[in-house]
Amino acid sequence: MGPLGVTLLLALISLTVALDNGLLKTPPMGWMAWERFRCDTDCANDPENCIREDLFRNMADRLVEDGWKELGYEYVIIDDCWMSRLRDEQGRLQPDPIRFPGGIAKLAKYMHDHGLKLGIYGDMGTYTCMHYPGTTLDKIELDAQTFANWSVDYLKFDGCYSNPVEQMLGYPLMSKALNATGRPIAYSCSWPAYLGGLPPNVNYTLLGDICHLWRNYYDIQDSWDSMQGIVDWYFNNQDDLQPAAGPGRWNDPDMLIIGNFGLSMDQARSQMALWAIMAAPLIMSNDLRKLDNGARAILQNKVAIAINQDSMGIQGRRLLQEKSHIEVFWRPLSKSASALVFLSRRTDMPYRYHTSLAKLNYEAGNYEAYDVFSGSTVKGLNATTEFTVSINPSGVVMWYLYPKQQSKQTERLRYQHNRGSRLTFHKAGPGHRDVL
């Protein structure tokens, strides 16, 4: 089929496809196997950590018993390496019979019985990234129906071993096929990550129509370097990425690695803070059976979670990159509130950063801030008040900032005013004062 044929076919598909089924009005929260457990299939020698049904049941038990579920962490997501190397006699995907003896439907029931949801992994292509059976174009409907029959709630659809034309056809087709099953299934598309993540190769309008979330960039690894590389890429490209996000359509900078080996406590707070600013999925990949209290407190921070899950669903932006290697990030929130994150890229000592809200584009008015990780409140702020935050090397200070109400009258006026500025946000943004 020539390029014109592909374009026409795409036009037809996009007319009939919409995965607007009400799912993921806020970013998904949960747990995914990949970053921590990879493709460990050696259950004989490493039974605790290999990819098998017990691992997912163990994590589900932890989510329920250790307070995660009530905070919103609800998806348990299987990644690559769950499959048998062969499809069954009817051509259907099947789990590895030794490692998933109960089958996926039974595992899904386990999740549902515990108030959780099950996610699964497939790949638009000849093979998965780890060389298990892929979903070629002719298998898309069959695989969508198989997942739906198992009562799966979420599909991560990777893109190894396919070319851009197959991807251009396959990702919309899978969206349509999932919709046709009648089962609401959250759909995570790795498509943009295979196209460099940016327009014009990636059409974010189309992605928002067919997917609930998408991976734009490389996989996260268990290191601060990897995390910083991801943060840099997302905020360097915020003009393209930030407007793409909204309720039911999220950029996915990949899993939370908090609780593993690569991040210090300060760096872990930085990941939690920046993922909240980015309205990113909060999908942990760690060992919930062996989490220390520091990591647990960061991942269970209720205000950081509330900021991430804000109902307006507006992704935040980087406002400033200072010569001092301090960066400031901002996200508008409902009820005229906002979040600010002060990040230090320094490697010496806590840095005392002086600024005011006016320098960060805030309007005149009186404000109060809740310091998300210290729990203290900063009172008596107006836009011109100079203040100082002390930011640890590779750490953050994160504020939840809200207008301090003077009277019913000014409150109402400010509400109307902020509604106006919110409507202009997507068009203009705060960019006029950026020092980028």
Ligand X SMILES: *[C@@H]1O[C@H](CO)[C@@H](O)[C@H](O)[C@H]1NC(C)=O
Least CB distance to ligand X at residue 357 (A): 10
Among 38, 92, 109, 131, the residue binding ligand X under the rule CB under 6 A is 92
Among 145, 223, 410, 421, the residue binding ligand X under the rule CB under 6 A is 145
Cα gap 201→198, rounded to integer Å: 6
Least CB distance to ligand X at residue 407 (A): 15
Is 142 a binding residue for ligand X by CB under 6 A? The answer is yes
Contact 381, 338 (CB under 8 A): no
Composition of the chain by helix, strand, coil, percent to 5? 40, 20, 40
Residue among 106, 84, 104 nearest 93 (CA): 84
Is 58 a binding residue for ligand X by CB under 6 A? The answer is no
Is 18 a binding residue for ligand X by CB under 6 A? The answer is yes
Q: Is 219 a catalytic residue?
A: yes
Least CB distance to ligand X at residue 136 (A): 15
The count of residues interacting with ligand X (CB under 6 A) is 21
If the CB atoms of residues 312 and 378 are measured against ligand X, the closer one turns out to be 378
Angle CA(282)–CA(59)–CA(227) in degrees, nearest 5? Answer: 35
Among 16, 205, 311, 324, the residue binding ligand X under the rule CB under 6 A is 205
Cα distances from 412 to residues 24, 202, 362, 402, 423, in angstroms, run 31, 41, 18, 14, 17
If the CB atoms of residues 145 and 264 are measured against ligand X, the closer one turns out to be 145
Cα gap 54→47, rounded to integer Å: 9
Is 14 a binding residue for ligand X by CB under 6 A? The answer is yes
Cα gap 322→308, rounded to integer Å: 25
User: CB under 6 A: which stretch of 71-79, 96-104, 198-206, 243-251 binds ligand X?
Assistant: 198-206
Among residues 79, 80, 96, 158, the one annotated as catalytic is: 158
Is 299 a binding residue for ligand X by CB under 6 A? The answer is no
If the CB atoms of residues 58 and 136 are measured against ligand X, the closer one turns out to be 136
User: CB under 6 A: which stretch of 31-39, 49-57, 103-111, 141-149 binds ligand X?
Assistant: 141-149
Contact 175, 191 (CB under 8 A): no
Cβ neighbours, 10 Å, residue 176: 19
Q: x-or-dash pattern for ligand X, window 19-38, by CB under 6 A?
A: xxx-----------------
Among 7, 201, 334, 384, the residue binding ligand X under the rule CB under 6 A is 384
Q: Is 266 a catalytic residue?
A: no
Strands (DSSP E) contained in 104-151 are 117-123
Three-class SS state of 143:
helix
Among 163, 385, 390, 406, the residue binding ligand X under the rule CB under 6 A is 385
Is 203 a binding residue for ligand X by CB under 6 A? The answer is yes
- Sequence-ordered list of residues with C-beta below 8 angstroms from that of 361, at least 6 positions apart, any chain: 319, 330, 430, 433
Q: What is the DSSP letter of 363?
A: P
- Furthest-apart CA pair in the chain: how many Å? 71
Among 146, 188, 267, 344, the residue binding ligand X under the rule CB under 6 A is 146
- The footprint of ligand X on residues 148-187 (CB under 6 A) is 149, 179, 182-184
Residue among 93, 426, 12 nearest 246 (CA): 426
Binding site for ligand X (CB under 6 A): 14, 18-21, 92, 142, 145-146, 149, 179, 182-184, 203, 205-206, 209, 382, 384-385
Q: Which residues are catalytically annotated?
A: 158, 219
